[in-house]
Each structure stands twice: as C-alpha cells, then as structure tokens.
Amino acid sequence: MSHEECETTVVKDCYCPACQGDKATTTLLLTKIPYFRELIIMNLYCEVCGNRDAQVSFGGSIQDEGQRITLTVRCSEDLNRQIVKSDSATLFFQTLDLEIPRSTQQGKISTLEGILQTTVNQLTQQQAERLRSGDVDNFHRCRAVIDTINRWINNAEIKSENETPGIDNSSDFPFEVILDDPAGNSYIENFQAPKRDPQLTHTPYRRTPQQDAVLGLQPSFDTEKNTEHTDSKALRYKIHACEDERFEPTEKCVPKDEIMSFPTTCPSCRCPTETNMCTTSIPHFQSVILMCMLCSNCGYRSNDVQGNGGAISERGTRITLNVTDMVDLSRDVLTSTTATIFIPEADLEVGGCSLGGVYSTVEGILTQIVGHLETTNPFAMGDSTIGRTGGKVRQEGELSYRFNDFLNKMKAMISGQHFPFQIILTDPLSNSFVGRRSGNSDVSVNERAMRDENLFLEEYERSHAENEALGLNDVMTEHDQLTP
C-alpha cells in the first residue's frame, strides 16, 4: 500500500458524545483492503474526558443486491471467525432471540467472540438501570442472554485439548448466526476457503423500497408499486405489446434479433439510463436473451445472458468436458443463472448466482471464476490471515498460502500449463451450452457430443429439491388448454 493511500486527515475541535464538549480530535484514514472494499477508518479521542471511539465505514459502492449470510456455529472454534459488519448490517441470534441492529456496533471488523463480548458489556451496563426502573422481566431476559453468551465464550477459553476438533460436547451448540446486510458489504470468514464452507450459506436478495430509502438510494423501477403489479420491466413491455392479442413471448412480443430498450437505474451512480435487450438463437441449441447496459454518466457497464428465451425444458442437462489442450480452452460456453460449474481437479464448485449468465470461452469462464474468488475472499489477505482458532494461534499465512496455491493451480489451467482437467456443467433447466472444437463440422449438440471424444452430454430428471428451488412445484397446468 502506497504512502498516499495511507495518508490521514485530522479534524480538531469535534463534538464528544461522552462529555458533550467540543475538544475531541477525529483522525480519518482512507484506505483499501486488498480483494475487499474501500474503507474509511475513523478514530475519535477526547482530551477532556479520555473517551475513545473507533468506527469503520465503507467508502466504496453499494452492491447491486443485499446479502444474507447464515453461519451454523457447531463448536467453540467457530467463535474465532472474523466478521465484517458494515454500518447497514444486522446480526440475529435465533437461539437467544437477540438482534444486534444496524445502529449498534456499526462498521466493525472483529471476531464473532469479540462481537458477543461487546454485546455482553453493553447489556450489563444497563442492568442496574432496569432494576431501578422496575423493569424486572426485561432484567431477567437480559441476564439469561448474558449467561448464555458467557457460557459460549468461557467454553471457547477452557476447551480441553482431548476434545475432538470441530465437535463440541456442550448443549449450547450448535446455533445459527444470521448476518443481513442490504448493502451487501458484510462478510463472515470462510475457514475452508477457497472451498465451499458447509457451515456458511449465502443468500442474495433484492432490496425492498424501505431498505433502499435507509441506504439513501432511490427505489429501483422493479420494486416501485404500479397498477399492473408486475415484477420486471421486460414483462411490462410484453404486456403492453400484446394487449390486443394472445401472448406468445418469443415470436411476437420479443422479436428475435431486434434490439429493445427500456429505462432502468444505474446501480453505481443511481442515475437514469437504458438497458438494451435482444432475443437471438444459438444454432442447434435454443433462444437466449442478451442484455447490456452502459451508463453515460459514470461509465458503468454490465452484460448478462439469460438462457430462458424459450420454454422450460422437461429435464436437466449435465455436460462433462475434458480439457486436454488449448483448443478445448477456446470452446464457446454459455452458462445460465441456474447452472453449477464443478472442477474435480481443483475441488471447486461455483453456483450460477456467483457469475450470472455468461457467454464466453472456457478460458474466459475460468478467468472470471478466479477474479470472483479474489474479490469475495477478503480474509485470505493481509493481517486477517493470522488469527486464533480454538485457543491456538494459526500458522502465519496458512490461509493465504492455501488460497494462493489454489489460485496458482487455476491460473495454470487458464494458461495451458495444467492438462488435463475436467469441467462438469450441470443445469437443471438445460439453458447452458458448450460449443464445438474448432474445425468440427456444424452439427447438432447430440451429434457433436457423440463425435467429440472430450464432450459428454447427459440428460437427467430434476429432483424435487431442484424443482422447489426453481418454483416449478407450484406451477399448475392441469386445466390449461392450448388455443389454436
């Protein structure tokens, strides 16, 4: 980090919330954590009363979607996970029926144990006041919460060495911690990075108009109440275009190869802009929807490929590609938002929500995966790689070394230095596609799969869980009839 990036700003004669004087000094540091976000670190010190306060605010952009992270705490080691709680995030402990709101412990980087200890201190400070005011019921509820948290912390400190790692015999475990951040700028450390942590669940969601207002954003066009009660701008366009005729999405309402534009809001600067949409067909595959946006105000650009331009497939598709040379790296690949990519050699699984709809080559997909992993694993860099786990100091740089070894293996695959390896693309809606090798004749997908020694195509019946996740179990078509 350069000297300019670490330059501090000192503001004197600030207001002190403790003594209500104006002799406090605030120090501001604008910096950036590698593979994470821009941060504003603020420290306040009052010479009169000695009050100190430190906060961390996020100086970067608000993410396109909110993020809900659920952690299952199975043992005392999980209390040492590092947590980034932005000033818009809330923490909820279902076992305790306890919520740490956005106004409490704002902009904090700590461990789960540190956040719990701060909660105990804050609750304990008000216990005497609760008794004096006669709020006995609330006093006992708070004491029960304090006692439970203290048992968690004390169990982490006195845990015996002969206990099985990763398993806690205490009846207080397991319990769940839910970190909900509408801005999408909060994180919980992944002990298995870069692999998937089975104790962590990430759920992205669209913000409500109320959440947008709290963040100081104008509610998106999708969430504003309208007389038609539609959820998307594209669907609203189709309704207007087809109000006098039978609804036929692909053929009439969304003409193929014709570019349509509709108004939207830039997720970066929140200024009005336009999104272009076009429906086209991939030969011997199906129709896809191409969407792109370029903001003329700030230059932000994005593109997306939706592989659901036609009807929903009756079966899912699993495509297995054996990458043996540079020609296989140049194959065209279309991944939809419902597809999952699995690379056995790297023990890596990436869901469709991570990359979104992407049309690229094998090399391009792998490059995007590496970039996404570097961006979403802030605890694999810097001081955060040194911590305590289960009362023992972790080997310095252990997480960083493991993460960097993984990235080096992925980059070797991209550069053609690691052959062969396998890519398994599973899509329950059959909206993903792997192209032919250069020089092959123009044949259909099934014929290509039979002739291509490195490409294998398999259709399978979707499970009940997959249908439930896609919302297909609630679709009722028994009484529908086709209109000639």
CA distances from 231 to 8, 121, 270, 307 (A): 46, 45, 19, 19
pLDDT digits over 2-36, tens only? 434 556 788 888 888 888 888 899 988 877 665 45
Question: What's residue 251's pLDDT?
Answer: 40
Of 315, 318, 341, 333, nearest to 456 (Cα)? 318
Could you tell me if residue 93 is left (phi over 0), alpha (psi between -120 and 50 degrees) or otherwise beta? beta
Region 316-384+395-470: CATH code: 2.60.120.1040
pLDDT of residue 420: 92
Residue 271 clears pLDDT 90, i.e. is over it:
no
pLDDT band (50, 70, 90) for residue 344? very high
Assess whether pLDDT exceeds 50 at residue 237.
no
- Is the per-residue pLDDT at 214 higher than 70? yes
Q: To which residue do tokens 């990235």 refer?
A: 407
- Which stretch of 233-247, 317-331, 429-443 has the lowest confidence by average pLDDT? 233-247
454 pLDDT more than 60: yes
Pick from 74-83, 165-174, 433-442, 448-457: least confident? 165-174
Mean pLDDT of the chain: 76
How does residue 310 score in pLDDT terms, banded at 50, 70 and 90?
A: low
The 10s digit of each residue's pLDDT in 154-163 is: 875 555 444 4
pLDDT digits (tens, 9 = 90+) for 68-90: 999 999 988 889 888 888 888 99
What pLDDT does residue 298 have? 83
What was the pLDDT predicted at 252? 44
Are residues 268 and 300 in contact, defined by beta-carbon separation less than 8 angstroms?
A: yes
Task: Tell me the whole-structure pTM to 2 decimals.
Answer: 0.57
The pLDDT, as a whole number, for residue 220 is 56
Residue pLDDT, tens place only, 367-414? 988 888 877 776 665 555 554 444 444 444 566 777 888 888 999 999
Report the CATH superfamily, name and number, of domain 220-306.
ZPR1, zinc finger domain (2.20.25.420)
pLDDT tens digits, one per residue of 89-111? 999 998 888 999 888 887 777 88
pLDDT of amino acid 317: 92
pLDDT of 202 above 50: yes
Q: What is the C-alpha separation between 197 and 146, in angstroms, rounded? A: 29
- Checking if the pLDDT of 1 tops 70, the result is no
What HEC string does 218-281 produce? CCCCCCCCCCCCCCCHHHHHHHHHCCCCCCCHHHHHCCECCCEEEEEECCCCCCEEEEEEEEEE
CATH 2.60.40.10 fits 66-213, yes or no: no
Please choose, from the candidates 405, 435, 418, the residue with its C-alpha nearest in 3D space to the C-alpha of residue 328: 435
Between residues 91 and 185, which one has the greater pLDDT?
Answer: 91
For residue 20, CA distances in Å to 44, 436, 480 come to 13, 71, 70
- CATH 2.60.120.1040 in the chain, residue ranges: 66-213, 316-384+395-470
Secondary-structure class of domain 8-58 per CATH: mainly beta
Q: Where in the chain is the domain with CATH 2.20.25.420?
A: 8-58, 220-306
Query: Averaged over 323-344, what is the pLDDT?
Result: 89
Please check the confidence at residue 213 and state whether its pLDDT lies above 70: yes
The larger pLDDT score, comparing residue 440 to residue 327, is at: 327
pLDDT > 70 fraction of the chain, expressed in percent and rounded: 73
